[in-house]
Every structure is written in C-alpha cells, then in structure tokens.
Structure 1
C-alpha cells in the first residue's frame, strides 16, 4: 500500500505503450491499484490491511512483459475499494450517500445489492468500508475524475489498435481468492476464463488460451464462477472485430493471501504468462482466423 494525497497531484492510472505496437492486444489490470488516498482511509472503518482484501494485488506485474512484447498495458493506481471501473458508470447504492443521486443511476443491479457497485460498499463480500454516509458529490467526483478518463483511455487505445490491425483484443486481468472456488468436477481452478458465455470474443481466443494454460499445468475453468464483468461485456464486440477475454488467476499461485506479498510461485507464474503472451502475439492471425476483420 502507498498512501497518497489525491489523484490530482499524481496519475490515477498508467498506460504503458510500446513503440511500435506489434500485436493487436491491450492488457488491462483495473483492480491492481494500491495507492490509497489519505482522506479515503480516514473515512473507512477498516484498517490498512483489511481494506486491501479486494485488490488484485500484483496482477499488473504478472503480465508486465506484454509491453516488452509490443502490446500496451493499462493499469490502475487507485484501489478497487475506492472506485470500481469494472462496473457501469453509475451503479450506486443510495443508502451509502448523503444527497440525491443522478436520475440515471442504476440503484438496483445485483452488484449494487451485493455491495459491489461503482463505489463499493464492501470488501470481501462482507466487510463494510465506510464509517457512515459519504457525500454524493464525492462519489461523482471519483466517477468524473477517474472512471470516465480510464474508460476513455481504454476505448481510445482499442480504437487505435483496431485502426492499425483491423482487429483489437482486450485481455482483462484479475485475481481471485484461492479458496471456495470449485469447478463442476469438484476441484479448485487455478485460472477462470470469462467470455460472457461465448459472446465477448472469438471462440479461438479462449480455446487457445485455455489450451496453453492447461499444457503449462494449470487447472482451467470457463465462465464459472466468473464469466466477465462490465469491461468484458461492454468492449467485447466480435462482429466488429473487437474481442474481450477476462482472466482470473488464483492468488495462492503467486502470493501469500494473508500478507499479500509475492510467494515462491510468483516467478514461475510470471514466466508461464509471458510464454502465453508471446504465443498470442506471434499467432494472433491464426487464432482469429475466422474473424472477418482479421482475415482482410
């Protein structure tokens, strides 16, 4: 964790862009941020360790080699507990705020009901973040100042990649708790791939990623329990040559889930993911061969 003054004096996120871009992929890590504003911590009832429970800690570092291989990486600095960009812009729980929400706020989505809206109420699905209500203006300030610029950067970068290659692929990178995530066969998956049940990307993409990870020795599940969130659903438009695949990685593979520090498996997983990234970069034309845009 880093404690910061705000996200005015320093960037809320980074876009690491190689020159030139050599393959039509954008990797993003929207929940890997670990910079916590001091005022936000003062509003919270949680200590400095408990509030980090929803972080996808170190995920950005796990896939950092994509930049060296010629593909951009968009990574959050702000934490998920502060703002969740993998939600609609205004998935807001009216019970959390002092003041009137915008008329177009989505106040009844399952994610809002579960405490996991754009401004989350909970971490770890049960721990309340805030001591009391917060001003609506504060919430809307986070959305206007960080959420919208993040998505504009994501949208613009995908557009530039699509304009250059005729196709663009978003790899949306996350982590998941290692416990209580059972597959249909009763085992715990190491990786869950989400393509919104076949709607957000070319089937060849999820097939190849699954096969490469299985060959490397990982247990892979598809769409259960994670099919992909707002980012995967919103940006995955295969008919337009825009593909999005969510990857969820079990945290126990690479870090101590109590201390959040990398463990002895970090380097091995990082190496295996680099091999996967290299295969995608070198063979994207074959992987997306059925895509009308890629075939031109």
Structure 2
C-alpha cells in the first residue's frame, strides 16, 4: 500500500472535519488472512467523503484516512480500553464485525506485535496530522472545533435496539465541548424535523474524547448519522446488496442540514 492513504485538505477556518472510518484500503498481504474482503469492508462509514465534500468550501480542514477500520480503527483508545464498557463494540484492530462475524480465518488474528506495527504505520500518522492541524488553527484563531464525521446503518441489533435516530450527537456527556456548541449543533439538526439524540448510544469515540479540551480552546463533537439519510438500506446486507450507491437526491436534504451544522460550528468558533 502506498503512502497516499492519508489525505489532509487544508483550510484556514477554525474547523477540522475528521473522517476516520470511510476508508476501504487493505494491505495486499493481509487479504489472504481474512474471511473475505467484503466482510472486512462491511462496516465502513460509506461515502462520507462525498457526503461532506462541501466542507472545504466553508474553509474547513478535512483529515481523512483511506485505510479500512479492519486494519486499524483510528477512533479507538490505543491502550485497548473499551469506550463503552459492558456494551458490544469493536477494538483497535477489530476481529469481528458489528454483527459479531469473525473477520479473520482461524489463527490469523493480529497479535500484539502486529497491532503495534499497524499503530505506528497508520494510527500515529493520522493523529499526528489531526494534532498538527488543530495546533495550526489554534494559532490562527485561539478556538477551534473538531467535528468527527461518522455514519452507520440504521439497524445493528448487536450494537443498539431498534432504529437509530438520523442524527446522533456525541460530546462525551458534555465534557468535550462547551454547552453553547452542543446547543447550536442540536438546533441545526432539530430544524430538519428528523429524530436526533445527544449522548445516546454514541457519546463520541476516542477522537472526540481525546482532543475535546474546551479549557484549552479545542471543542470536539461527534456526529453519527444513520446512513438511510443518503443511501438506500437493503433489508439484508450481502455481497450483492451492500454497499448501495451514494444517492444524491436522497442526500440533498441531509447535506443541507449538515451544511447548517458546520456553519453553526464555525459561528461558535468565531464568536
């Protein structure tokens, strides 16, 4: 795999958009150890880079990894500690899918040495880029918003009951940003009339929790979208049915709402 897996698109507005789970790249040497390449890509946050392709027009900086979360999940605690103790979740180098299906052939799971190698190769550079951009923009503005962009299918019974709201805002239970930013993001979501929850099943991953330090001028918020807002979701996920293509007409209202969300983030940072 070449070194072009990490993309940083710089802007000078006080907003960084992180896209940590849309990647689908898997090193060629890893594929023979997997149950299937399709299964390894099943839980990607599909088409996030397209859904948010307007962010640069707002002056935001976008940091995105092209590497599949199966290789390494850059939104997990590198210590291996669970972000949601007692609940089903996946780890730094996942060994199963959201549905509990094994990703690796028997005996082919990564050991601690391999996990450390993957961390050095992919995790550390991603977070180095995030930190560099946050520091650069803090130098320009004093206050910056880190917006962590995610999506997931509307139903994942192993992870949560029923159908997920369209907008799932996470602020580490209020610890990763000022209340005014939470309120502004909530207002932009609620204006759509679509369901929204704050700090429900998704309270923010390691990125939100690690970088969100309001007392030091970095305010972090995670947005977990139910992907029905921009693609058709099939009743069953199979090699033939998933992923479905990006659906521009379906996505248009959601993109308008997300534009308002990012503008609210900018207004907060610039106030």
Task: Give the gaps of 5 or more residues in structure 1.
Answer: 1-5, 92-105, 287-296
Q: How does 1:225-244 map to 2 (within 5 A)?
A: 225-244=201-220
Shift of 1:109: 7.5
User: Which residue does 1:174 correspond to in 2?
Assistant: 150
Confirm or deny: 8 A CA contact 1:114 1:125 kept in the other structure: no
Distance 1:211 1:114 in 2: 30
Report the secondary structure of 1:123's partner residue: coil
Confirm or deny: 8 A CA contact 2:89 2:98 kept in the other structure: no
Distance 1:76 1:24 in 2: 21
Shift of 1:136: 3.9
User: Which residue does 1:98 correspond to in 2?
Assistant: none
State whether structure 2 residue 254 is matched by structure 1 residue 280: no
Instruction: Please provide the CA RMSD for this pair.
Output: 2.3
Distance 2:56 2:84 in 1: 35
Confirm or deny: 8 A CA contact 1:232 1:246 kept in the other structure: yes
User: Which residue does 2:96 correspond to in 1?
Assistant: 122
Which moved further from structure 2: 216-225 or 250-259?
250-259
Match of residue 159, structure 1, among 119, 135, 148: 135
Match of residue 34, structure 2, among 12, 32, 44: 44
User: Which residue does 1:144 correspond to in 2?
Assistant: 120
Change beyond 3 A, Cα 1:158–1:12: same
Confirm or deny: 8 A CA contact 2:148 2:222 kept in the other structure: yes
Which moved further from structure 2: 248-257 or 225-234?
248-257
Distance 1:219 1:198 in 2: 20
Confirm or deny: 8 A CA contact 2:164 2:226 kept in the other structure: no
Change beyond 3 A, Cα 1:201–1:109: closer
Shift of 1:53: 2.1
User: Which residue does 2:171 correspond to in 1?
Assistant: 195
Report the secondary structure of 1:64's partner residue: coil
Report the secondary structure of 1:252's partner residue: helix
User: Which residue does 1:24 correspond to in 2?
Assistant: 14
Distance 2:218 2:83 in 1: 26
Distance 2:47 2:163 in 1: 25
Report the secondary structure of 1:26's partner residue: strand
Change beyond 3 A, Cα 1:142–1:221: same
Confirm or deny: 8 A CA contact 1:29 1:60 kept in the other structure: yes
Task: Give the gaps of 5 or more residues in structure 2.
Answer: none
Shift of 1:68: 1.4
Shift of 1:267: 2.8
Change beyond 3 A, Cα 1:215–1:113: closer
Shift of 1:12: 2.3
State whether structure 2 residue 65 is matched by structure 1 residue 80: no
Change beyond 3 A, Cα 1:227–1:126: same
Shift of 1:135: 4.7
- Count of residues paired in the alignment: 256
Shift of 1:137: 3.4
Which moved further from structure 2: 130-139 or 31-40?
130-139
Match of residue 25, structure 2, among 31, 35, 42: 35
Distance 1:165 1:269 in 2: 29
Q: Show CA shifts across 1:87-135 (max 9, x none).
A: 12242xxxxxxxxxxxxxx5x8867995621111111140111112335
Which moved further from structure 2: 229-238 or 271-280?
271-280
